Amino acid sequence: MDEAVRQSGRRILLADADAFYVAVARLVDPEGAGRAPFLIVGGSADRRGVVTSASYEARRFGVHSAMPMGRAIRLCPKAMVVPVSWEACAAKSRHIREVLGRFTPVVEQASSDEFYLDLSGTEGLYGGEPLATTATRIRETVLAETGLSVTVGGGTSRFVAKLATNVAKPSGVLIVPTGEEGEFLRRFTLAELPLVGPKFQERLRRLGMRTVEDVLRHDRATLVAWLGQREADWLYERVRGVDDGDVVADREPKSISRDETFAVDLGDDAALAKHLLELADRASADLREEGLLARTVTVKIRDADFTTRQAGRTPPEPVCSDRAIYALARELLHRLRRARRVPARLLGVALSQFVRADTAASQLSLLEGPTRGTAGVESERDRVLARVLDEVRERFGPDALARGRTPGA
DNA sequence: TCTGGGGTCCTAGGACCC
DNA sequence: TCTGGGGTCCTAGGACCC
């Protein structure tokens, strides 16, 4: 099928929870956070936190997410500040996802509070009802079952659905009719387009372009000469509301990471190693829970002056045990510390380049053969031990076997 | 104002291979 | 002595998003 025709037949929605972290905080604590109109959710001020989300009332004072908490409190002193309840948010997230799954099997979770749905081909199923009607039913069902308000935007592409959602926020529904994408796009500045961040905005501004209309005045060849093929094509299509990206259900994760910003910068290697151990354990436990092995281990360090550096390694065989992952991470941390030895404000461990555990097992046995054994960074014993400990923790709680604090060890 | 934690995707150089 | 072209993998860094 012709690409333009295929795209014009699509019915894509984005369901985006309104002030998600704020809404969950209110559900968790109805008497406290639930009654505070000016509510800020995020890290506490004395601990270098930032705002994760603020109530719409607090936003009117200029408070927004990612803002340092100290500044947010200065802008809105009467606000109540509460920490994010990550577990409650994850549970609510799963619940929303489950409700949406009843409307179509093609649900893609883009973040904890954003879900793309592809309803293409469901016209018959919904008796030919307009997409806006389906979207409204989705909004009402999610609200009734989870207590959370979502805004639903829709159109023939993810890009248009995303912009429609932004326009309709909060608590709204907006569907851009097929064929009207280009007209819809004309109202936006380039800064309002997803993926056009500060750097790209500045480049475009220097070329005399601030709005979608500004870009529409130039032909594709001119944009290519200015921006290069890839970015020019991207921009040329998006300002016309064209985006052929698919909604993909059950995307496989590409990386799993854990990092920690310290309350006070840390210069002591032993102290850093201790935090590294905990981060490596948490990341590798999640990796095993997903049934994955990682080919690459990366350590990230943020120096006191906010310089961020990283070092990674891809051993000959994938790993999943806490022992092997910590051993690799430790080596990488040493490398980073040798290169620059100043107090650190953040340390992180990331795992990537995944291999499914079941396919990895057969590949490994082929590699290892009858005589080769289990040479390398990770032995069969490491893996078995890691899984046994996972089971113990699952049964008796995460602190049942905290390493380094084993009595009598 | 002094910058969280969790992600995705892209680029570019060097190694290595054919 | 000077000289290929293309492909893949690894690594580090950066832009961007919620």
**Tens digit of each residue's pLDDT (9 = 90 or more) over A43-102:** 887 789 999 999 999 999 999 999 999 999 999 999 999 999 999 999 999 999 999 999
* CA gap A394, A361 in Å, rounded: 23
Residue A373's pLDDT is: 37
Residues of chain A with pLDDT under 50: 365, 368-375, 405-409
Look at the pTM and tell me if it is higher than 0.85.
yes
Catalytic residue (choose from A114, A181, A317, A378): A114
The count of other CB atoms within 10 Å of the CB of residue A201 is 16
A255 touches strand C (CB under 7 A): no
Residue A363's pLDDT is: 58
pLDDT, tens only, A188-231? 999 999 999 999 999 999 999 999 999 999 999 999 999 999 99
* CA gap A316, A293 in Å, rounded: 13
Q: Which residue is nearest to nucleotide B2 (CA to C1')?
A: A68
Q: Which residue is nearest to nucleotide C16 (CA to C1')?
A: A195
A204 touches strand C (CB under 7 A): no
What would the two tokens of residue A349 be? Answer: 């461990």
Residue A396's pLDDT is: 77
Active site residue A145: no
Quickly tell me which residue has 């905290």 as its tokens.
A402
* CA gap A198, A88 in Å, rounded: 33
A109 touches strand C (CB under 7 A): no
* CA gap A380, A390 in Å, rounded: 16
Any idea which nucleotide's C1' is nearest the CA of A49? Answer: B4
Residue A140's pLDDT is: 98
A221 touches strand C (CB under 7 A): no
Residue A46's pLDDT is: 79
CB A18 within 8 A of CB A169: yes
* CA gap A142, A122 in Å, rounded: 19
